[in-house]
C-alpha cells in the first residue's frame, strides 16, 4: 500500500485520544485531534513532512489503544484509517 503524507484515524466513540497522541509523538510523528462532522479524528503526519509509514502508525496506535489515561482499559478494536473504511 502506498505511503501517505497524512493519515486520519477515528478513535472508538468515547475514547480519549490523549494516550494515542502521546504514543505517536514518542514515535516521532505529529498527531493532532480534530472534530470532523461531529466525529473525533486524529491527523497523523511525519514531523519532517515525509510520507507516513502506515503500518508503523497502525502498530503504535494498536499498542496504545486504551480507553483513557486514567483507566487504561485495552480496546480490542482493529486499527483502521479513514481511507480504509
> How confident is the prediction along the chain (85 residues), in pLDDT tens digits per residue?
445 689 999 998 778 888 899 999 999 999 999 998 888 999 999 988 888 999 999 999 988 887 555 566 666 778 999 999 8
Q: For every residue of the chain, which 3-state class applies, written as one string?
A: CCCECEEEECCCCCCCCHHHHHHHHHCCEEEEEEEECCEEEEEEEECCCCCECHHHHHHHHHHCCECCCCCCCECCCCCCEHHHC
Q: Which domains does the chain have, with CATH numbers?
A: 6-66 (3.30.70)
Amino acid at each position: 500500500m502506498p505511503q501517505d503524507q497524512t493519515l486520519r484515524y477515528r478513535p472508538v466513540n468515547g475514547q480519549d485520544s490523549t494516550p494515542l497522541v502521546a504514543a505517536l509523538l514518542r514515535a516521532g510523528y505529529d498527531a493532532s485531534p480534530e472534530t470532523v462532522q461531529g466525529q473525533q479524528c486524529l491527523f497523523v503526519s511525519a514531523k519532517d513532512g515525509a510520507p507516513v509509514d502506515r503500518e508503523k502508525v497502525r502498530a503504535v496506535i494498536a499498542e496504545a489503544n486504551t480507553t483513557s489515561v486514567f483507566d487504561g482499559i485495552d480496546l480490542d478494536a482493529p486499527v483502521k484509517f479513514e481511507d480504509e473504511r
